[in-house]
Every structure is written in C-alpha cells, then in structure tokens.
C-alpha cells in the first residue's frame, strides 16, 4: 500500500569509524514531488527537506542511484529518477557521509502499458478500424498515446478508457502480419504480429509432391501470384470458412497414392502453420480418394467428393470423420465448390468435362453443362467468389507429362471457361480468401 509522501522521517545516524567526528548537519526529507512516474525513469524529482549541500550527497530510489543532482537551495534538491525494477511503491533515501534520511514507499513507479488483444486481429490491406484492449492507456498520468502498426502510425486515435483505444490502422502488404505498439508517458508495449493484412483473391497450394509445399496468394486484380507461406505438408484440398479459418487436407501421395488425403488441418495463411484436426477416414477406418473439399456458407458443413466411391461425402470439422452421402457412379468427380448462394458445383475429371450441380441431400447431379475450353478441362480443384467459379487445370502433353498449371475462370451459368493465368507448377488446391471483415 502506498504511504503518504508528507511523512517526516527523523535522521538516522550511521555508525562512525574510529577517528571520525560526527557531522554537524542533519539531513531530513519532508516531501517529494512528483510522487509517481514512469517505470523507465528519466523524469525529474524534487526533494524538500533540510541539510542538502554538495558535500558527498547521494540520492537513491529503490536502491538505484539518482543522477543529475541539482541543489536548488539548502532545502530543495532535484534529481533524475532512475529506471525501476518493477511497478509499485519504493523508498527514497538521501545519504551524506554518516547521515541519511529516507521516506519509505514514498515514490511509485507506474506500470507499463500492456496490449492483451487487437480486435479485429486482421483486416483490409487498405486499412481498417481496430480496437486495442489492454491496460495503462489513460490512468496514472499516462498522457498522450501513440499507436503504431508495422512502421506506420495508427490514425484518429481515441482513448476510450484505461483499457481500450480505437484507431484506424494504416494500409499494409496483403497477407502479412504486423507488430502493434502503444507508447505513452509510462512506456511502451508491443504485441508482435498482432494484426494481419488481408486482400480478396484466391489461395492456391501445391500438393503433387506429397511431402511439403507452399501457400500462394493469387491477386485477381493483377493476375499475379506470390508465395506467402511455406507449408510442412503438401495440400490436396482447400476451403475457406466464413469465420476466416482455412481448412485443408494434406496429401498422402507418397504413402497411398495421388488424391488420398491424410489429415484434415487448419492452416494459418500468414505463417503457414498447420494444426492437425484428425485423419480423413470413414467410421470403418477406410481411406478415401478425395481430391477437393468445399464448405457451405449457410450451414458451415464441409464436403468432399470421394473418387473411391464416386459419392458426395461429409467431413466433420472437429474430427475429420467422413460420412457417405450418395452420388453418381458414372461420374469421376474432382473439383468441388460452393458459391456464395450455397449452391454446390462439381467439375469431373476428363478432357471434355462438364459442370454439375450437386444435391447436398443425396449427392445426385443435375444441370450438367459442357465446359467450353479448347485445351480440355482436367480440373483438379474448384472454388467460387461472388461472381465466378475458378478452377485449377493441369495441362497435359501428348506423352502424359504435366507441362503447365492454369487458373480457369468458369461461368457457372453457361460453363464457358476463360484461361486467366499460369499457376505454380504442381498446384493442386484452391480456395477463395475469407471475406472481409470475417469477424
């Protein structure tokens, strides 16, 4: 508990060594001003008392020596406060030769500000409104605050309370994480990688190697792509949840065969971190060949098309457990996607593929449309944004060797295909980026 700084403390004599004579001055401390300051020190402190002069006088605060002693008068002394070890009340001592005086618990170091969360923790690459939640934003003489995201200042800062600040985040590079910091008179707090910048487009991942891979961001405004994260596993299917979670199924090509998933996982698109959820198996522990996955926007259910059974299947988001729904044994399905109206589409394998609607109730197919593409339509993965379907097509030479991977834009009403751009060799999974904002 902090004690009053106005307490008068009597001089405490020090033991004298043999041959020394007692000092004829008496040191006293009556008060100090201010009675608190930042943990980092550096502020001025004025002590009022008696017996102050420049003969061997030393001031300590919590055992640390105060610098820049300035004698304002016999009864007033100014020093620079040293940095504190921790927040809280500490003793102030004045020592001169064999004399000392002190005020116990008379000066308090203010705690540093803290950041416990940034809400939302990601937003548009063009900038977004954010709230910082923490402590030390207003009280205890915090003063004005500066918030920085990455290397740029957050704009229009409004300190709502000691625990909340709102501001407008500056723009940043898409699919990167930035540090968030706050600085005021009591010090600085930094939350590393606390805010992520997003941009609408597509994610694609390579999975043909069956060992590891990369996650890429495809910018549909510029028809370009760039790697954003290295993955510890190859991915053969991707799907974006409305809440921002990226789900994937890892490729097990080396152990079982192409298209056989191993695990259902969550993928952090900023870091590439993969968190396993569970093995993609039926209740009878049967592995299935599932080349693509899709998640509905209305019921948040995950689906795949099993080439092993030529059926639509459900995949439990919390376990990876597979349930058979039904389908058409004449169709070798591949790419699977929901549009934003929660219509489910299937693109089968084959050089002359069709685009089907799929019933979630029983897996039956309807409204088959020939996809018009002179190069053929061996689509291994499918996704949808607000306007179009997008597919991944592997170009195959006459000798069967893969020579190119192409992003296709598909009109879901007519089946007309447009080649948009080349993709990284071996791309085997595609998903639209999460919507903005997603929380």
Q: 123 and 69 in one domain? A: no
For every one of its 439 residues, what pLDDT tens digit does the chain have, with 9 covering 90 and above? 333 333 333 344 433 333 333 455 688 999 999 999 999 999 999 999 988 877 788 999 999 999 999 998 878 999 999 999 999 999 999 998 888 999 999 999 999 999 999 999 999 999 999 999 999 999 999 999 999 999 999 999 999 999 999 999 999 999 999 999 999 999 999 999 999 999 999 999 986 655 578 899 999 999 999 999 988 888 889 999 888 899 999 876 545 455 566 889 999 999 999 999 999 988 888 888 888 999 998 899 999 999 888 999 999 999 999 999 998 888 888 899 999 889 999 988 754 567 899 999 999 998 877 765 545 557 889 999 988 999 998 765 445 555 678 999 998 888 888 889 999 888 889 999 987 654 4
Whether 37 and 31 have beta carbons less than 8 Å apart is answered as no
Q: Is residue 47 domain-resident?
A: yes
Number of domains in the chain: 3
Element holding 346 (H helix, E strand): strand 344-348
Assess whether 164 and 231 both reside in one domain.
Answer: no
Instruction: Please report, for the domain that includes residue 140, its CATH number.
Output: 2.60.40.10
Judge whether 3 lies within some domain. no
For residue 304, the domain's CATH number is 2.120.10.30
Residues 371 and 382 in one domain: yes
Q: What is the pLDDT of residue 251?
A: 79
Instruction: Please check whether residues 230 and 178 belong to one and the same domain.
Output: no
197, 221, 236 - which closes a domain: 197
The answer to whether residues 372 and 307 belong to one domain is yes
For residue 368, being part of any structural domain is answered with: yes
- How many CA atoms lie within 13 Å of 55's alpha carbon, on the beta-carbon side? 10
Residue 273's nearest CA partner among 322, 229, 334 is: 229
278 with 165, same domain?
A: no
Residue 1 lies in a domain: no
Q: Is residue 5 part of a domain?
A: no
The reported pLDDT for the residue numbered 17 is 34
Do 273 and 127 lie in a common domain?
A: no
| 3-state percent helix, strand, coil for the chain, nearest multiple of 5 | 0, 55, 45
What does the buried/exposed string (b/e) look like for 6-33 if buried means 16 or more CB atoms within 10 Å of the residue's CB?
A: eeebebeeeeeeeeeeebeeebbbbbbe
| 8-state DSSP, 208 | T
pLDDT tens profile 280-313: 988 888 888 888 999 998 899 999 999 888 999 9
> Does residue 80 belong to any structural domain of this protein?
yes
Q: What is the pLDDT of residue 377?
A: 54
* Structure confidence at residue 53 (pLDDT): 77
Q: Which residues of 139-158 are buried (b: 16+ CB within 10 A; e: fewer)?
A: ebebeebebbbbeeebeebe
Choose one of 171, 197, 223: the last residue of a domain: 197
Give the structural domain span for 420. 200-432
Pair (148, 291) in one structural domain: no
Residues 64 and 132 in one domain: no
Q: Which of 197, 232, 253 is the last residue of a domain?
A: 197
Q: Give the contacts of 67 (CB within 8 A, at least 6 positions apart).
A: 79, 80, 82
Q: What's the confidence (pLDDT) of residue 8?
A: 37
Residue 219 shares a structural domain with residue 245: yes
Q: How do strand 274-279 and strand 213-219 relate by DSSP bridges?
A: unpaired
Q: Which residue is listed with tokens 């910091």?
A: 181
Q: What is the DSSP string of 402-436?
A: EEEEEEEEE-TTT-BEEEEEE--TTEEEEEEPPPS
Q: For residues 372 and 376, what is the distance between their CA atoms, to the nearest angstrom?
A: 8
> Is 438 inside any structural domain?
no
Q: Are residues 36 and 170 in the same domain?
A: no
The answer to whether residues 37 and 178 belong to one domain is: no
Nearest C-alpha neighbor of 151 from the set 134, 132, 176, 175: 176
Residues near 368 by beta carbon (within 8 Å), at least 6 away in sequence: 354, 355, 356
């Amino acid at each position: 508990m902090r004690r009053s700084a106005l307490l008068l403390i009597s001089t405490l004599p020090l033991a004298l060594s043999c041959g020394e004579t007692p000092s004829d001055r008496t040191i006293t401390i009556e008060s100090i001003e201010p009675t608190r300051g930042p943990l980092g020190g550096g502020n001025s402190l004025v002590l009022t008392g008696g017996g102050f002069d420049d003969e061997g006088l030393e001031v300590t605060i919590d055992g640390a020596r105060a610098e820049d002693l300035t004698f304002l008068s016999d009864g007033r002394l100014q020093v620079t406060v040293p940095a504190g070890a921790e927040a809280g009340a500490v003793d102030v001592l004045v020592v001169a030769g064999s004399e000392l005086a002190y005020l116990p618990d008379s000066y308090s170091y203010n705690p540093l500000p803290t950041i416990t969360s940034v809400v939302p923790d990601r937003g548009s690459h063009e900038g977004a409104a954010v709230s910082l939640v923490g402590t030390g934003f207003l009280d205890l003489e915090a003063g004005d605050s500066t918030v920085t995201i990455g290397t740029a200042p957050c704009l229009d800062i409004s300190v709502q309370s000691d625990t909340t600040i709102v501001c407008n985040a500056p723009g940043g590079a898409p699919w990167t994480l930035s540090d968030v910091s706050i600085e005021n008179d009591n010090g600085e707090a930094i939350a590393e990688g606390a805010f992520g910048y997003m941009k609408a487009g597509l994610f694609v991942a390579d999975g043909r190697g069956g060992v590891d891979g990369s996650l890429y961001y495809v910018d549909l405004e510029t028809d370009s792509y760039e790697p954003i994260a290295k993955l510890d596993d190859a991915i053969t299917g991707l799907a974006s949840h409305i809440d921002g979670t990226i789900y994937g199924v890892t490729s097990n090509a080396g152990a079982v065969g192409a298209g056989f998933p191993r695990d259902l996982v969550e993928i952090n698109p900023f870091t590439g971190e993969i968190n396993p959820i569970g093995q993609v198996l039926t209740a009878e522990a049967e592995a299935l060949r599932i080349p693509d996955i899709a998640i509905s926007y209305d019921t948040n259910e995950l689906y795949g098309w099993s080439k092993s059974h030529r059926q639509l299947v459900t995949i439990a988001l919390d376990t990876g457990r597979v349930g058979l729904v039904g389908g058409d044994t004449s169709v070798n399905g591949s790419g699977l996607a929901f549009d934003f109206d929660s219509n489910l589409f299937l693109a089968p394998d084959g050089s002359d593929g069709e685009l089907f609607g799929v019933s979630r109730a029983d897996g039956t197919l309807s409204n088959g449309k020939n996809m018009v593409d002179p190069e053929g339509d061996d689509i291994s993965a499918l996704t949808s944004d607000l306007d179009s379907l997008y597919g991944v097509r592997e170009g195959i030479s006459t000798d069967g060797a893969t020579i190119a991977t192409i992003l296709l834009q598909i009109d879901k009403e007519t089946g007309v295909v447009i080649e948009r751009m080349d993709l990284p060799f071996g791309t085997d999974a595609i998903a639209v980026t999460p919507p903005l904002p997603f929380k």
